[in-house]
């Protein structure tokens, strides 16, 4: 029934007259001739942790599984991730990274020691998915690995040897161990994170203590011939600007990037309920989006601190954990963090990606949490079944921004107000690809009012415009295994070229992607 309702609603949305009485009016200027900054494709990165069914059943089913796989890795998941051009995947955590000892995960699988995943659910981790399996997964997807090293409970020597094992072609103990385990040629490991959340689950460290540890561990991460490592320091959570200040003051010369973590919660507390993923009203719709867009202020303030020590912006801000976080699906393991994914999550994703695009001068990578079956995932699996989520479709709609040139834009929009609070009602970013096509992604955060956009395209005109939209009449619409196509992008026709720009009406609660040629 929801599919029928959504289809009828989608058809109705494209009549501009239907919204005329309630639409907001907004103006947009895009400077088509002023782009200088490249939007790194790595902003569209993913995160896969040994948590719940992200790895096991999500990526890895084993070579004896009846689920179609290549060397134990699900074919359907790989195909879906390739379609959205996943550029980089962060692994093995997360909090799990600081209790992970990589040698447990190499060699014959039947000889690998089992451990207890004390962070996530207390389940047995058999280590059948380790370094070789993750690198195989990355090669199948066609993405780069971002390895997160163990600072919390691991040694300097252990981290040093892992980098040697993965990237050295020498006749050396670790490189020869890799060969013994079936891989002659070293892998490319372009990104290595030195610890995770060292202020919390990664060791509960003071920033001064972590800064010293970062410099110590980082000293022994070697650039072996043919591989240069981009070193990511563990940065702050949310608005902990002192952490960034201390790290930049003490270790800026040793780092290539510094991380930032921010999650969007409908109920702004980490104690008690975080709210349902599928049963919510406009109050939690608003509070979740308010939390999502608040990351822009955090990026601005962390960037201002970074500018003091790195005015040439050589150090990247790496938002390697972000996304919506709700209560787990009813009946699921509380430690597995499995949650459904609705139209609300599509707006969370669209707003965040627009913000990252617009800050591409400083933001060089982002990794949504997480790729499969955990938190704001791209994909949900149930044994042999697989579906993609509204968030997946947003990433697919935004793929033209990857490695395109950011076009500066100026948006004057009406606020979306609720309960005495307000946030911008529209979110936007624009880019031009190497062929000269301009791509504009727009989000209307207001669930009840359409948004009229009058856009002036300065420094260039285009002859054709086309678009796609992701929306529904119901803010809780989501895809299920029984109805996998409840919410997916549809053609968008309510856009017209006008003068040296265009006009459009964004439906309420929608994500729209336009292409101008």
- Please list the active-site residues: 197, 321
DSSP 263-304: EE-SSS-SSS----SSS--HHHHHHHHHHHHTHHHHHHHHHH
Instruction: Please name the helix (run of DSSP H) or strand (run of DSSP E) that holds residue 350, with its range, or none.
Output: helix 343-358
Three-class SS state of 514: strand
Please enumerate in sequence order all residues whose Cβ is within 8 A of that of 184, keeping only pairs 6 or more positions apart, or say none.
Answer: none
Place of tokens 């990794």: 367
Q: State the number of CA atoms in the 13 A half-sphere of 517 facing the CB.
A: 5
140 with 75: CB under 8 angstroms? no
Which letter does DSSP use for residue 17 in this model? G
Minimal CA–CA distance to 7: which of 450, 485, 395, 478? 485
CB count within 10 Å of CB 450 equals 24
Handedness of CA 75, 491, 389, 26 (dihedral sign): positive
Strands 438-444 vs 510-516: parallel, antiparallel or unpaired: antiparallel
409 with 428: CB under 8 angstroms? yes
47 with 368: CB under 8 angstroms? yes
258 with 294: CB under 8 angstroms? no
The two structure tokens encoding residue 54: 């992200």
Cis peptide bond prior to 94, omega within 30° of 0: yes
The two structure tokens encoding residue 489: 């992008």
Q: What is the dihedral of CA 40, 43, 44, 47, to 10 degrees?
A: 130
Please enumerate in sequence order all residues whose Cβ is within 8 A of that of 108, keeping only pairs 6 or more positions apart, or say none.
Answer: none
């Amino acid at each position: 029934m929801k599919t029928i309702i959504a289809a009828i609603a989608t058809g109705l949305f494209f009549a501009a007259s239907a919204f005329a009485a309630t639409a907001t009016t907004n103006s947009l200027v895009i400077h088509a001739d002023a782009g200088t900054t490249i939007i790194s494709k790595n902003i569209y990165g993913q995160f896969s942790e040994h948590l719940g069914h992200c790895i096991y059943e999500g990526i890895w089913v084993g070579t004896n599984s009846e689920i179609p796989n290549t060397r134990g890795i699900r074919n359907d998941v790989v195909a879906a991730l390739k379609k959205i051009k996943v550029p980089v995947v962060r692994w093995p955590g997360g909090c799990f990274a600081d209790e992970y000892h990589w040698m447990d995960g190499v060699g014959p699988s039947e000889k690998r020691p089992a451990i207890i995943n004390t962070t996530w659910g207390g389940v047995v981790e058999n280590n059948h998915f380790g370094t070789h399996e993750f690198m195989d997964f990355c090669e199948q997807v066609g993405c780069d690995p971002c390895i997160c090293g163990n600072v919390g409970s691991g040694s300097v020597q252990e981290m040093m040897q892992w980098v040697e094992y993965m990237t050295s072609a020498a006749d050396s103990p670790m490189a020869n161990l890799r060969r013994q385990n079936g891989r002659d040629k070293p892998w490319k490991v372009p990104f290595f994170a030195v610890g995770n959340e060292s202020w919390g689950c990664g060791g509960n460290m003071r920033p001064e203590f972590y800064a010293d540890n970062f410099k110590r561990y980082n000293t022994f991460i070697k650039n072996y011939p043919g591989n240069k490592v981009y070193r990511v320091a563990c940065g702050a959570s949310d608005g902990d600007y002192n952490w960034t200040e201390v790290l930049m003051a003490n270790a800026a010369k040793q780092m290539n990037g510094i991380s930032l973590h921010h999650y969007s919660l409908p109920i702004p507390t980490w104690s008690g309920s975080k709210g349902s993923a599928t049963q919510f009203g406009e109050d939690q719709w608003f509070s979740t989006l308010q939390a999502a867009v608040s990351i822009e202020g955090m990026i601005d303030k962390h960037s201002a601190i970074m500018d003091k020590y790195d005015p040439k912006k050589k150090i990247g801000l790496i938002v390697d954990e972000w996304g919506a976080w709700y209560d787990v699906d009813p009946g699921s393991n509380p430690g597995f963090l499995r949650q459904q994914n609705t139209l609300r999550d599509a707006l969370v994703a669209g707003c965040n990606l627009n913000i990252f695009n617009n800050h591409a001068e400083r933001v060089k990578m982002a990794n949504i949490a997480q790729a499969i079956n955990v938190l704001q995932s791209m994909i949900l699996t149930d044994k042999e079944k697989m579906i993609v989520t509204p968030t997946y479709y947003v990433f697919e709609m935004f793929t033209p921004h990857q490695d395109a040139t950011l076009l500066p834009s100026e948006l004057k929009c009406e606020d979306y107000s609720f309960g005495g609070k307000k946030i911008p009602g529209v979110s936007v970013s624009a880019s031009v690809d190497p062929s000269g096509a301009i791509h504009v992604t727009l989000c209307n955060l207001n669930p009840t009012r359409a948004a009229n956009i009058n856009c002036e395209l300065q420094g260039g005109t285009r002859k054709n415009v086309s678009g796609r939209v992701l929306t529904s009449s119901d803010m809780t619409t989501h895809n299920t295994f029984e109805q996998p196509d409840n919410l997916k992008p549809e053609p968008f026709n309510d856009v017209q070229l006008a003068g040296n720009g265009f006009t459009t009406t964004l439906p309420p609660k929608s994500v729209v992607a336009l292409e101008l040629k």
